[in-house]
Amino acid sequence: MSEAENINEEMSEQDLLFNDFLEGDLSPEDHAAFERRLEDDEAFKKEYERFFSIVGGLRALPFTFAPDDFVGQVQTRIRKRSRGRFFTDNYLLTSRIPYEVVGLVMILVMLSAYFMMASPHDKKMKDLNLVPKLQSPEKT
C-alpha cells in the first residue's frame, strides 16, 4: 500500500471515529478516551473540528418556510384537478347527475302526467263514465 493510500485509510478511520462520537455510538470507555485525546492532541482536535463544522453547518442551515398562501394554492389545485368533487361539502352541488337517474325521473313524470290526464277532474262529470240504464219498452 502506498503512503497516500495509507493516509487516506487513516483519515477514513478517523472520520468514522468522529462520526461514531457525534452519533453517540462509542462505548463509555471509548468515549472517555476520545475526549482525552481531544484535550491532548491538537492535530486530532483540529481534524475533529473540521468534521464537526460540516455536521454543525448542516444543523444550522436556516429553516425555510412554505409561502404564506400555500394552503390556498393546494386547495385550488385539488379543486381544479377533481373538478370540485374532492371535498364532501361540495359533492352534491358540483357532481354530475347520472343520466340513468334523469331518465327514471322523466319516466315517472310522464307516467304521473298520463294518469292525471286519464282520470276525470270534474266530480260532476263522474256520471259520464256510467252506462245509462235504458227503460224497458213493456213499461211504456
Partner 1 sequence: MNPNDRKLVRRLKRRDESAFTELVGTYQHKVFNVIYRILGSKAEAEEVSQEVFIAIFKYIDSFRGEAKLSTWIYRIATNHARNRVKYLARRSQRKHQDLDEGPETANADSPLSAYIASPHEEAVGSELEKIIGEGLKSLNEIHRTIVVLRDIEGLSYTEISEIVELPEGTVKSRLFRARVALKEYVESRYTEKVVPL
Residues forming the site for partner 1 (CB under 8 A): 12, 15-16, 19, 23, 50-51, 53-67, 70-71, 73-75, 77-78, 81, 86-89, 91
Q: Cβ of residue 5: shortest distance to partner 1, in angstroms?
A: 16
Distance in angstroms (rounded) separating the CA atoms of residues 80 and 76: 6
b/e code 59-87 from CB counts within 10 Å (16+ = b): eeeeeeeeeeeeeeeeeeeeeeeeeeeee
What are the two backbone dihedrals, phi and then psi, of residue 88, each rounded to the nearest 5 degrees? Answer: -60, -40
| CA dist list (Å): 96 to 25, 83, 86, 89, 102 | 60, 10, 13, 15, 11
**Nearer of residues 29 and 89 to partner 1, judged by Cβ:** 89
**Nearer of residues 32 and 78 to partner 1, judged by Cβ:** 78
**Nearer of residues 71 and 111 to partner 1, judged by Cβ:** 71
Q: Cβ of residue 94: shortest distance to partner 1, in angstroms?
A: 13
**Nearer of residues 36 and 77 to partner 1, judged by Cβ:** 77
Q: Cβ of residue 99: shortest distance to partner 1, in angstroms?
A: 24
